[in-house]
């Protein structure tokens, strides 16, 4: 009986051990979520665990699937000989299919993060014959304006239909899964605890620093945020924006027209953490109607003890995260009213941030324990 976790990142233990992975090509969000899930599996009753990854290094590419054993975890680096995006997907899918045929057994459990094509095709083909259990962790779904929605939708739909267990990131995601599969068990667990490597006094500033970090596209609401911010000419505030996406050039233009808007682009982890550390209020402006996806950046803000202002996003509003967040309305645009309210009713000192951070840690640690309990009581056979 084994637990097979299919991911796309290089977990921290693997990076430390495997020197060939010098510059892994993986998203920061995937790294954090997959490390979080892997810790829950490590703390479970499973003693035989595989972590399969499609990660690749800029400096290393091999068509041979490789195993790296660290403790009770076997990390499986799938072979890949693809020279572009499409041949890479085909190559990784082939490597995973071969690995499954050779290794998967009836009593095993496979867990997949967001059910990407590299894994979904092989799982859907082999599951009827091997009868293993399938758990899907759905943190977000592509929206219809993204071409990847049309590539992935049918496979995600079939995966939801055939899965035995689910991790859902938000109440709306729970309802979405139930609409497709009302017979399997669902555990809601959105976000994760993040620990900054830098914890020191904030740099002094004469201005209140507002921060947006994340994807720069319409659905994340970054242009709406800029519009709301620019509606008030209070020079006591600056808006710092980090990240990348299709609106990068538009936002760069906004920063040239308004000196209070600072656009930093995509940052490495150290510079990003410094920006969060030195911010006073962090903002989640994601469109309220995109309620099915969990805005994972919020847990970075809360883990740092920051004051957080968010749209009335149902993944946060009315959940356990809600008590840590102040919400504003996109429709009524009471953005500045809420900003001034936060400053009048909450301290932005380092001591106040530490207190909020400690309270959030207790809640996040409880969620992590509940996730491990779910694995132990529901999935372990």
Task: Give the count of beta carbons closer than 10 Å to the beta carbon of residue 200.
Answer: 10
DSSP helix/strand/coil, 275: helix
Contact 193, 358 (CB under 8 A): no
Q: How far apart are CA 153 and CA 155, in angstroms?
A: 5
Contact 75, 14 (CB under 8 A): yes
DSSP helix/strand/coil, 283: strand
- Helix and strand numbers (H, E) in the chain are 12, 14
Any residues with CB less than 8 A from the CB of 218 and at least 6 apart, and which?
145, 247, 287
The class level of CATH for 208-361 reads alpha beta
pLDDT per residue, tens digit, the chain (381 aa), is: 899 999 988 777 777 776 656 666 666 777 888 888 999 998 899 989 999 998 864 445 677 888 888 888 999 988 888 777 788 888 889 999 999 999 999 999 999 988 888 899 999 999 999 999 999 998 887 666 666 666 778 888 999 999 999 999 888 899 999 999 999 999 999 888 887 766 666 778 889 999 999 889 888 999 999 999 999 999 999 999 999 989 999 999 999 999 999 999 998 888 888 999 899 999 999 988 877 788 888 988 999 889 999 998 888 888 889 889 999 988 777 999 999 999 887 777 767 888 888 999 999 999 999 999 999 999 886
The ranges assigned to domains in the chain are 3-189, 208-361
What single DSSP character describes residue 74?
E
327-381 residue pLDDT tens: 998 877 799 999 999 988 777 776 788 888 899 999 999 999 999 999 999 988 6
Longest dimension (CA), the chain: 65
- Percent of the chain's residues with pLDDT above 70: 91
Instruction: Kindly report the CATH number that applies to the domain delimited by 3-189.
Output: 3.40.50.2000
Q: How far apart are CA 49 and CA 35, in angstroms?
A: 14
Taking Cα atoms as reference points, which of 59, 62, 94 lies closest to residue 77? 62
So what's the pLDDT on residue 193?
83
So what's the pLDDT on residue 310?
95
Cβ-count burial of 39 within 10 angstroms (0-12 exposed, 13-18 middle, 19+ buried)?
middle
Q: Residue 268 region, left (φ>0) first, then alpha (ψ -120 to 50), else beta? A: beta
What single DSSP character describes residue 318?
T
Same fold? 3-189, 208-361:
yes
The secondary element (H helix, E strand) that includes residue 79 is none
Contact 158, 124 (CB under 8 A): yes
DSSP string, 97-124: HHHHHHH--TT-EEEEES--HHHHHHHH
So what's the pLDDT on residue 315?
84
DSSP helix/strand/coil, 1: coil
Q: Residue 279 region, left (φ>0) first, then alpha (ψ -120 to 50), else beta? A: beta
284-303 residue pLDDT tens: 999 888 777 888 889 889 99
Cβ-count burial of 268 within 10 angstroms (0-12 exposed, 13-18 middle, 19+ buried)?
exposed
Parallel, antiparallel or unpaired: strands 133-138 and 109-113: parallel
Cβ-count burial of 238 within 10 angstroms (0-12 exposed, 13-18 middle, 19+ buried)?
buried
So what's the pLDDT on residue 19?
63
So what's the pLDDT on residue 58?
46
């Amino acid at each position: 009986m084994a637990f097979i976790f299919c991911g796309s990142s290089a977990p921290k233990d693997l990076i430390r051990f495997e020197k060939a992975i010098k510059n892994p090509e993986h998203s920061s969000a995937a790294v954090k979520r997959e490390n979080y899930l892997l810790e829950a599996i490590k703390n479970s009753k499973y003693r035989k665990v595989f972590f399969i990854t499609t990660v690749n290094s800029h400096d290393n590419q091999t068509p041979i699937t490789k195993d790296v054993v660290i403790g009770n975890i076997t990390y499986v680096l799938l072979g890949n000989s693809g020279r572009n995006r499409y041949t890479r997907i085909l190559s990784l899918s082939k490597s995973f299919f071969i690995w499954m045929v050779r290794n998967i057994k009836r009593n095993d459990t496979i867990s997949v993060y967001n059910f990407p094509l590299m894994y979904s095709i092989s799982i859907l083909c082999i599951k009827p014959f091997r009868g293993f259990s399938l758990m899907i962790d759905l943190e977000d779904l592509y929206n219809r304006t993204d071409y990847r929605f049309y590539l992935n939708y049918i496979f995600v739909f079939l995966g939801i239909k055939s899965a035995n267990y689910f991790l859902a990131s938000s109440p709306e995601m729970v309802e979405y899964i139930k609409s497709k599969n009302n017979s399997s068990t669902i555990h809601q667990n959105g976000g994760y605890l993040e620990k900054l490597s830098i914890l020191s006094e904030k740099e002094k500033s004469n201005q209140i620093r507002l921060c947006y970090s994340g994807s720069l596209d319409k659905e994340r609401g970054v242009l709406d945020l800029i519009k709301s911010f620019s509606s008030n000419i209070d020079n006591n505030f600056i808006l710092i924006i980090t990240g990348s996406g299709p609106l990068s050039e538009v936002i760069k233009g906004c920063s040239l027209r308004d000196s209070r808007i600072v656009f930093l682009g995509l940052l490495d982890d150290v510079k990003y953490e410094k920006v969060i550390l030195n911010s006073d209020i962090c903002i989640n402006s994601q469109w309220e109607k995109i309620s099915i996806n969990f805005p994972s950046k919020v847990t970075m803000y809360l883990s740092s003890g920051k004051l957080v202002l968010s749209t009335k996003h149902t993944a946060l509003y009315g959940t356990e995260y809600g008590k840590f967040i102040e919400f504003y309305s996109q429709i009524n645009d009471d953005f500045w009213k809420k900003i001034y309210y936060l400053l009048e009713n909450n301290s932005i000192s380092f001591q106040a941030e530490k207190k909020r951070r400690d309270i959030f840690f207790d809640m996040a640690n409880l969620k992590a324990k509940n996730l491990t309990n779910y694995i132990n009581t529901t999935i372990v056979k």
